[in-house]
């Protein structure tokens, strides 16, 4: 894989998809359908997916592509592949809350090593460079010419006063019970894969997810966090979260700055 080309293509496609999503988001109304798993899908999900999929297949025809909105791709099995969630946080989009993202990632040997997370309504974009390090780019964003980028790095946390980020739409008692094992200074809520990015920038120290996610939900954020020095491990045994699993479903997990002293499940 040509990582320079990969970063350029992923960044451009994320911006193009973000523009299409915002066009629909800012319209007077949009159609919301319900998928077989009872989750919502909108015309924005489908338009962004078509754009990103076409661009990735043209640029990297020999690489397997997995995307949330194309069920046929979920039957594929590989350890190295591109994976896309064209609109992560559809509930946030439908409720016009802004915490939705475009997620594109590259997984190699079961690990997400490159990715882009773009939050078009928030004007924030995070991605990995060709060398694997993570940056945040400041807007306004130009399709073909990256703007000013700043390296991002996880926090050096105080385990007596941790900053925790949790899901905005999927918060439950099990999550609160686990968070209660830590000395917490403050908590933030965020939607979609922005939670990974808040840990990556040091705005939060810990993100536990005690709930269902799929690999396309997490791969891009995981790649950005890893590029910023962070880790993502399984909730039950604290082993690294790997990708390419059957059905692309994740176990519960914890994303964190490495100096956080993890508590048992």
Query: Is 261 inside a domain boundary?
Result: no
Q: 211: buried, middle or exposed (CB in 10 Å: 19+, 13-18, 0-12)?
A: middle
> Is 85 assigned to a binding site?
yes
Token pair belonging to 28: 């007077």
Q: How far apart are CA 131 and CA 177, in angstroms?
A: 38
Query: Is 119 inside a domain boundary?
Result: yes
Q: How far apart are CA 33 and CA 39, in angstroms?
A: 8
In the chain, % of residues over pLDDT 90: 82
Same domain, 105 and 233: no
Q: What is the model's pTM?
A: 0.95
Which pLDDT score, from 0 to 100, does residue 35 have?
Answer: 74
Q: What is the pLDDT of residues 234-256, one digit of tens each?
A: 999 999 999 999 999 999 999 99
Residues near 29 by Cβ (< 8 Å), separated by ≥ 6?
A: none
225 against 168, higher pLDDT = 225
End position of a domain, from candidates 132, 151, 170 = 151
Minimal CA–CA distance to 134: which of 222, 207, 6, 242?
222
Query: Is 264 inside a domain boundary?
Result: no
> Is 88 assigned to a binding site?
yes
> Is 68 assigned to a binding site?
yes
> Is 128 assigned to a binding site?
no
Which pLDDT score, from 0 to 100, does residue 95 have?
Answer: 86
Query: Is 183 inside a domain boundary?
Result: yes
For CA atoms 142, 190, 102, 226, the dihedral sign is positive
Expressed as residue numbers, the domain containing 69 is: 3-151
Same domain, 14 and 72: yes
Q: How far apart are CA 153 and CA 151, in angstroms?
A: 7
Same domain, 74 and 147: yes
Q: How far apart are CA 195 and CA 253, in angstroms?
A: 13
Same domain, 12 and 124: yes
Has residue 31 got a pLDDT over 80? no
Same domain, 30 and 105: yes
Query: Is 263 inside a domain boundary?
Result: no
Same domain, 213 and 237: yes
Q: Which residues of 45-70 are buried (b: 16+ CB within 10 A; e: fewer)?
A: bbbbbbbbbebbeebbeeebbbbbbe
**Residue 260: pLDDT band with limits 50, 70, 90:** very high
> Is 79 assigned to a binding site?
no
CATH number of 182's domain: 3.40.190.80
Same domain, 138 and 39: yes
Number of structural domains the chain divides into: 2
> Is 98 assigned to a binding site?
no
Q: How far apart are CA 119 and CA 98, in angstroms?
A: 8
**Residue 38: pLDDT band with limits 50, 70, 90:** low
Same domain, 114 and 239: no
Which pLDDT score, from 0 to 100, does residue 168 have?
Answer: 67
Which pLDDT score, from 0 to 100, does residue 92 have?
Answer: 87
Q: How far apart are CA 11 and CA 15, in angstroms?
A: 6
Among the residue ranges 17-26, 153-162, 170-179, 256-265, the one predicted with the least confidence is 170-179
Q: What is the pLDDT of residues 166-219, one digit of tens each?
A: 986 667 888 999 999 999 999 998 888 999 999 999 999 999 999 999 999 999
Q: In the Cβ-directed half-sphere of 192, how many Cα atoms lie within 13 Å? A: 25
Query: Is 231 inside a domain boundary?
Result: yes
Query: Is 74 inside a domain boundary?
Result: yes
Average confidence (pLDDT) over 45-63:
97
Measured CA angle at 246 (ends 117, 206), to 5 deg: 40
> Is 89 assigned to a binding site?
yes
Same domain, 98 and 8: yes
Which pLDDT score, from 0 to 100, does residue 169 have?
Answer: 66
């Amino acid at each position: 894989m040509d990582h320079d080309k990969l970063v350029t293509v992923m960044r451009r496609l994320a911006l193009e998809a973000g523009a299409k999503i915002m066009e629909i988001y800012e319209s007077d109304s949009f159609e919301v359908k319900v998928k077989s798993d009872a989750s919502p899908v909108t015309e924005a999900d489908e338009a962004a997916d078509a754009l990103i999929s076409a661009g990735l297949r043209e640029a990297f025809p020999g690489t397997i592509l997995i995307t949330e909105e194309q069920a046929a791709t979920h039957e594929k099995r590989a350890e190295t592949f591109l994976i896309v969630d064209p609109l992560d946080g559809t509930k946030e989009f439908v409720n016009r809350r802004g915490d939705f993202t475009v997620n594109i990632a590259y997984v190699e040997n079961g690990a997400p090593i490159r990715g882009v997370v773009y939050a078009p309504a928030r004007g924030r974009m995070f991605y990995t460079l060709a060398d694997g390090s993570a940056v945040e780019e400041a807007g306004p964003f130009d399709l073909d010419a990256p703007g000013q980028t700043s390296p991002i790095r996880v926090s050096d946390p105080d385990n007596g006063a941790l900053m925790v980020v949790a899901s905005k739409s999927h918060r439950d008692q099990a999550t609160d019970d686990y968070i209660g094992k830590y000395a917490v200074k403050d908590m933030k809520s965020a939607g979609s894969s922005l939670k990974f990015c808040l840990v990556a920038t040091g705005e939060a120290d810990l993100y536990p997810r005690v709930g269902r996610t799929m690999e396309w939900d997490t791969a891009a954020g995981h790649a950005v966090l890893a590029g910023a020095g962070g880790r993502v491990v399984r909730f039950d045994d604290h082993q690294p979260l790997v990708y390419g699993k059957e059905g692309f479903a994740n176990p519960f997990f914890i994303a964190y700055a490495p100096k956080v002293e993890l508590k048992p499940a």
